[in-house]
Amino acid sequence: MHELSIAMGIVDAALDESQRRGVQVSAVHLRLGALSGVVKDALMFSWEVACQDTQLQGSQLIVDEVPVIVFCTQCHAERELPSVQSFACPVCGAATMDIRQGKELEVFAIEVQEEEVQG
């Protein structure tokens, strides 16, 4: 299981953004591809531990699951795969390895709270 180290990577990226912008992060939006090799449930499970004792403690992880999209040369069209167990066009059945989407492991956005001005 490498989800804890992935979660820590997400925390690092979000912390870096929050420090650069001088803001407090309340939630992190992640784009997670079906071919990223990372399991959503395990990642969610690791989130709290990864955030512990950092400024992200108590923050939320919001995962946007991204399906695999391939290009089918028979149909000349992009197609969404219903399953990663079959790299074939769901319309015409042609096999394809022209992967256009689905490997994402990306901190897409952060929800921030502007730091309150003192005084």
CB closer to Zn ion, 42 vs 94: 94
Strand 60-66 to 23-33 pairing: parallel
What mask, x for binding another protein by CB under 8 A, covers residues 1 to 40? xx--xx--xx--xx--x---x-x--xx-xx----xxxxx-
The amino acid present at 61, given as its one-letter code, is L
CB closer to another protein, 41 vs 114: 114
Residue 71 tokens read as: 């290009």
CB atoms under 10 Å from CB of 44, counted, come to 15
Strand-pairing partners, residue 60, are 27
**What, of another protein, Zn ion, none, does residue 74 touch, CB below 5 to 8 Å by kind?**
Zn ion
Q: Is 119 within 8 Å of 30 (Cβ atoms)?
A: no
From the centroid of its chain, how far is CA 111? Answer: 15
**What, of another protein, Zn ion, none, does residue 72 touch, CB below 5 to 8 Å by kind?**
Zn ion
CB closer to another protein, 35 vs 48: 35
Q: Is 107 in the site for another protein (CB under 8 A)?
A: yes
CB atoms under 10 Å from CB of 92, counted, come to 12
Binding site for another protein (CB under 8 A): 1-2, 5-6, 9-10, 13-14, 17, 21, 23, 26-27, 29-30, 35-39, 84-88, 95-97, 105-114, 116
